[in-house]
Amino acid sequence: MKYCILKNGKVVTEKGIVKKDILIGNGKILEVGNNIKISYPSVKKQNLQGFYILPGLIHYNCPFLRRNTAKASSSVYDSISQGATCLFDTLRAKGLSDTAVFKQLPLFNNAIPAGSYALHLSAETCNNMKYQMFKKLVIMHGLSSCALRWKTIEKFIKGKFKKVAARSAEMDMLILCKTEAIKDAGMIENYTYFKSYLKKLTAIIEQVRKYNTTILFSGITTKDEVTTILNSKYSKVYIAVTIPENETKSTTILNKNDIFDRLYKNPAILLSPPQLSQEENSFLNLLNNCNQKSFLTKYITYKNINEQQLIKVCDMYATRMAKLLGLYPGKGLIAPGADADFIVWDPSLTHKPTTSSLLRQDIHSLILNGTVVLKDNLVLPEDISGRYYFRNYSN
């Protein structure tokens, strides 16, 4: 077994931030403590004095199944640059034979250059496939949830996708309802459309309530959306919020105070992962990383660290998300027994890249499946073989 000790880092846990050493072996955290020593001569040591060690980002919307295409490859590397250690993509199949569906599973293809990866099933595929095949995908291949695209919402509201809600409830799966397309199209600024959109959110909740299905709305950016969803009084609804990348005229846009002072107290509120690049050329990402900071600086003022807020950020993007997606306690925390997938954060920018970089300015390094990845590393699938992660595997 290969061992690595991370020395003197500021480890972010649910209870606080403590200066500790972390012993890693075989892709797992073996020990978190003070002055860890091990006698094996081949032990690697990394001195992380002054750096924060955070749980890795779980990016549940990263297209890696089509990773031979330029955009998919770019998205994978963009997610890694932001600190993602666990990636999710959505399994879709126009042909519903066993061969058409199962040949897409990464279990049987090349590995992904990440700590681990997992799958959603598209709502369209779930609704059209035979029940036995659905059970096989969930039980034998550990699919995490059903992903519902906004373009199919009308069918879902009208009950044409009732199999999705019923099957998800039976298998204790999550429905992931993506609202990002509405924001990307700028429709949120059209008052009439926005009011209609809010009514659709309520109608979606009424559909899942019939079957007692758990649902996560992702990409939520306004107070009106949050209020509408919470006013449903449905106990199995979750909300992944974010601050928009681009400026908007809306006066109800969420800000940091809304999220961490008011909404954080509700355990059903999480943070959405950052939107990913659609560049055709992955090399452009490496160049852009030198001038960009990660998603963390959207929520944390990096020149004056509010450590209590940093704990909340980690809880919302990692711990709560891991629990909801069936990854906890393997993911979402830094503790013995958990996977060695985490971010080494450098808010002071002491190692700012000048040419090209795998990682954003404020990310010193990543630990992916126990392997330390630095800014100047070129990470390829053959270098880091990420693990396919089954839902509730850790339990």
User: Do both 348 and 274 map to the same domain?
Assistant: no
- What is the model's pLDDT at position 108? 42
- Chosen domain end from 290, 324, 358: 324
* Tally of CB atoms within 10 A around 156: 24
Closest CA to 93 of 136, 141, 129, 131: 129
pTM to 2 decimal places? 0.91
- What is the model's pLDDT at position 285? 63
**CATH number of the structural domain spanning residue 166:** 3.20.20.140
User: Do both 346 and 374 map to the same domain?
Assistant: yes
pLDDT lower than 50: segments of the chain: 108-110, 381-382, 394-395
Any residues with CB less than 8 A from the CB of 256 and at least 6 apart, and which?
243, 299, 309
Over the stretch 136-187, which tens digit does the pLDDT of each residue have?
Answer: 888 877 888 999 999 899 999 999 999 999 999 999 999 999 998 877 666 6
- Work out whether strand 363-368 and strand 214-220 pair parallel, antiparallel, or are unpaired: unpaired
Residue 191 lies in a domain: yes
Residue 283 lies in a domain: yes
User: Do both 184 and 301 map to the same domain?
Assistant: yes
Residue 225 lies in a domain: yes
- Work out whether strand 3-12 and strand 17-25 pair parallel, antiparallel, or are unpaired: antiparallel
User: Do both 120 and 229 map to the same domain?
Assistant: yes
User: Do both 300 and 360 map to the same domain?
Assistant: no
Our CA angle for 212, 271, 162, nearest 5°, is 25
- What is the model's pLDDT at position 248? 54
- What is the model's pLDDT at position 68? 56
Q: Which long-range contacts (CB under 8 A, 24 or more apart) does 233-236 make?
A: 234/205, 234/208, 234/209, 236/208, 236/212
User: Do both 18 and 83 map to the same domain?
Assistant: no
* Tally of CB atoms within 10 A around 95: 8
**Residue 53 contacts residue 22 (beta carbons within 8 Å):** yes
Query: For the chain, how many structural domains are there in total?
Result: 2
Q: Which residue has the tokens 């053959």?
A: 382
Residue 331 lies in a domain: no
Q: Which domain holds residue 31?
A: 3-53+337-388
Residue 395 lies in a domain: no
- What is the model's pLDDT at position 395? 46
Q: Which residue has the tokens 């009106």?
A: 224
**Dihedral of the alpha carbons of 146, 151, 155, 160, in degrees to the nearest 10:** -40
**CATH number of the structural domain spanning residue 30:** 2.30.40.10
Residue 193 lies in a domain: yes
User: Do both 202 and 310 map to the same domain?
Assistant: yes
Residue 330 lies in a domain: no
User: Do both 40 and 180 map to the same domain?
Assistant: no
